[in-house]
Amino acid sequence: MQTFAKVVELGSFAAAADKLDLARSVVTRQIAHLEHRYGVRLLNRTTRKLSLTDAGQAFYERVRPILAEVADLELALQAQGSTPSGRLRVSAPVSFGILHLGPAIAEYLQQYPEVTIDLDLNDRVVDLVEDGYDVAVRIGPLLDSSLVARPLAPQRLHVCASPGYIERHGAPRVPEDLKRHRCLHYAYASTGNEWRFEKDGISHLVRVNAALRANNGDVLRTAALAGHGIILQPEFLIGADLRAGRLVALLEDYAHTEISMYAVYPHRRFLSPKVRSFVEHLERRFGASSEDRAGPRRTR
């Protein structure tokens, strides 16, 4: 079954043989054995291409979940007393990765030296399955319901600007005042160019005029610190600046919907030891409320 599925997925006997580290003749014999055993042709073969017969398509659709169950069982058995090891591919947003995930990974590798981590920092939402990632850290709404999401910590959003900007341009008193201010906008925001506020049960939706639009929060933070405009960014990015007075919180009477931070991974009933231990490490590292840790804090 594994051989048949690999032939279908890769589209050739030779590619399946290479992937499974088998001789091509072995792959050919195994497919012939299946067809002889069930008395049906599963694959149409020509010198140039392979295609599934109707019986082959039906067989493949039944085989895939069976093989997934077998893989889950193997992982579960390996996890019993198994030490996390091997290569772990992780995706995370750029600013969060630099500021907080990097130190967390250093701690993890200290504890699990047999794991090697391949970290990709990108604010674009990657396809975990197609791009081959084991785990991703995501901040904001989750769009793919096929993934398993473990909540790590909520993140409060702040509207803020530098003291110098406020001195030159004044501070907005109500959200609608933002229309006449220079705003620095995050290009991947789920709400587009609109900033959302709420007060006394009334929602305020303001379409801002972006003096700078960027797909990275650190770029916007740097511009705000230099006095170029107002930003709307999460606690993990600008919390230290607010506490140090480098940025000043604005419109504090108006609430924002908290955004959540998750560790996400492809759905598997049984996780490999490296994935399980890494996700649990992130939960311990970022799920705590203490402010003396390097990382996001819970806001409630």
- Contact predicate 135/271, CB 8 Å: no
**For residue 242, which phi and psi values (nearest 5 degrees)?**
-65, -45
pLDDT the model gives residue 146:
74
pLDDT digits (tens, 9 = 90+) for 204-240: 888 988 899 998 889 999 999 999 999 999 988 999 9
> By the 8 A CB rule, do 264 and 135 touch?
yes
Query: Mean pLDDT across the chain, nearest whole number?
Result: 86
At 66, is the secondary structure helix, strand, or coil?
helix
Identify the three-state secondary structure at position 53: coil
Residue found under tokens 């303001």: 206
pLDDT computed for residue 91 by the predictor: 94
Q: pLDDT for 258-294, tens place per residue?
A: 788 899 998 766 678 899 899 999 999 887 443 333 3
Question: With b meaning 16 or more CB within 10 Å and e meaning fewer, what string describes 186-218?
Answer: beebeeeeebbbeeeeeeeebebebebebebbb
Strands 202-207 and 194-199: antiparallel
Task: Report the Cα–Cα distance between both ends of the chain, in Å, rounded.
Answer: 51
Please say if the pLDDT value at position 184 is more than 60.
yes
pLDDT at residue 290 in the model: 35
Find, among 66, 47, 45, 46, the residue nearest to 56 by Cα. Answer: 45
pTM score, two decimals? Answer: 0.61
pLDDT at 296 over 60: no
More confident residue, 72 or 1: 1
Give the C-alpha separation, 80 to 214, whole Å. 46
Residue whose entry in the numeric block shows the structure tokens 């995501």: 138
The predicted pLDDT at position 255 comes to 80
* Residue 84 DSSP label: P
Neighbours of 258 (CB within 10 A): 16
What pLDDT is attached to residue 90?
95
Q: What is the per-residue pLDDT for 293? A: 37
Angle at 155 between CA 152 and CA 158, to 5 degrees: 170
**pLDDT per residue over 97-111, tens digit each?**
988 999 999 999 999
Share of the chain above pLDDT 90, in %: 49
Q: Would you state the pLDDT for residue 297?
A: 34
Q: Which of 83-92, 161-170, 202-211 has the lowest mean pLDDT?
A: 202-211
- CB contact at 8 A, 178 and 210: no
Q: Where are the alpha helices (DSSP H) in 93-176?
A: 94-96, 102-111, 128-131, 163-169
